[in-house]
Chain A
């Protein structure tokens, strides 16, 4: 069963007290355990651009989002584990879950193949 761990920073300039080495160690643990499927860290939020297509087909491109919301997606991992409890354990070990950050765990939909 695949789960996406969405790593949400507390805010765009968040320093959650975790070092680069913590992230490297976490990535290594994930890979060594054999549960890791794929994942990426996202570049800084200031580089984000939003595209919307309206009802009449016109395209709007805007800078951002510079979310008013506290939580900003910083990256994700997809892991393959037996059940939600195991996914939650990996989420809890992620440095992104600490210091005001959060990791949202979502099952990857399975459409039968």
Chain B
């Protein structure tokens, strides 16, 4: 197979993996079995497609092949013998339709997999990993890389999570309308935390992990397609698009951090902004706004501004006020203070920040001393600013963050001792 053909086959697998796995899980109720036969079907495709060509409906081909393999396996496996009868797999086996001719509109079972992977009975740190593994089709080593843990550790965590799903019998199902408000935020949180890890890596040499951010967007798009009427899903997708649109401008020539104020706005992704904006409107229409919708609206206002100074700060402060009523949090207070500083001047912002000084949730959060340092510098309180920059430097995790802080500190000290 030519390189181009094999990369297109790979993209088919990536695209189809989540759907394939979800259909198999729905049918067989067993995540491990589903994963094994999905892998076997992909292996079979790698053998047949280069010879016979990629089938007209690759997803249907993979599903039929995987189902046949699952049935064969269940037949061989004594432990599954009893279940075989319940599964009524005979009916599938006798399915006369040849693989390539099965309908293209496969039912989409991925929604139930989203809810299973994000089930609150699973450890919070495993939910994202399981979602990337099952829905994004990442391999375990890829997931390990995403979370910067050794592959063996990640393999253990995924095995443990799957064991809990199987043995505690966490159901594969979409929650009913009455349970959706309770369960959906967990799913959105998983996608959001995958994205934020990609947006600002918590450690390591790079500021952004674009592959991870893009995977989160891809999953958010799928979820939005599956739940078009859920406004917070729309809001989350909008938020991710409107934030990711700035990715190219967020780092400078040497991978260094560029603050919003200093970004070259011509490098923002206009197509992505145009895609996100109507989603914000949809997310904020027809009921009280949710946290993702409001955050997306704030992101949209930043994206719309021609330059930093002409940003609609009063509107942004107002949106932070709304956000605080939905999700009171010191981090939101911090962001609001920064917006107030832009609207009313650095002294006003600093007063708000100083009110947050004792906040335990901001202890260890490098953006708090950084925000203070910035305002102190603007007020000409150079020495205090330098102290705050040093505090931030001690707390910052990723190398570009640290380099940025060192630069600011050097610039500040130059100002101090300069002519």
Instruction: With CB as the reference atom, state the residue of chain A lying closest to B165.
Output: A84
B167 within 8 A of A: yes
Contacts of B161-187 to chain A: CB distance below 8 A: 167-171, 173, 175
Partner of A107, one of B167, B173, B175: B167
Q: Is the CB of B168 within 8 A of A85?
A: no
Which 4 A-B residue pairings sit nearest by Cβ, starting from the closest? Answer: A83-B171, A83-B169, A107-B168, A84-B170
Interchain Cβ contacts within 8 Å, total number: 20
How distant is the Cα of A106 from the Cα of B168 in the complex, in angstroms? 7
**Contact in complex: B169, A107 (CB < 8 Å):** yes
Residues of B within 8 A of A (CB): 121, 167-171, 173, 175
A-B contact pairs, 19 of them (CB 8 A): A1-B169, A82-B169, A82-B171, A83-B169, A83-B170, A83-B171, A84-B121, A84-B169, A84-B170, A84-B171, A85-B170, A85-B171, A85-B173, A85-B175, A88-B121, A106-B168, A107-B167, A107-B168, A107-B169
Which residues of the other chain, B, contact A106 by a CB distance below 8 angstroms? 168
Give Cα A82 to B170, complex, Å: 10
For B121, the chain A residues whose CB sits under 8 A away are 84, 88
User: Which chain A residues border B171 with CB–CB below 8 Å?
Assistant: 82-85
Distance to closest chain A CB from B28 (angstroms): 15
Min CB–CB distance A15 → chain B (angstroms): 28
A85 to B178 Cα, complex, angstroms? 13
**Complex CA–CA separation, A20 to B221 (angstroms):** 50
Chain B residues closer than 8 Å to A88, beta-carbon distance: 121
Q: How far is the CA of A21 from the CA of B295 in the complex (A)?
A: 46
Q: How far is the CA of A47 from the CA of B168 in the complex (A)?
A: 33
Interface centre among B121, B168, B170 (most CB of A within 10 A): B168
Report chain A residues within 8 Å CB of B167.
107
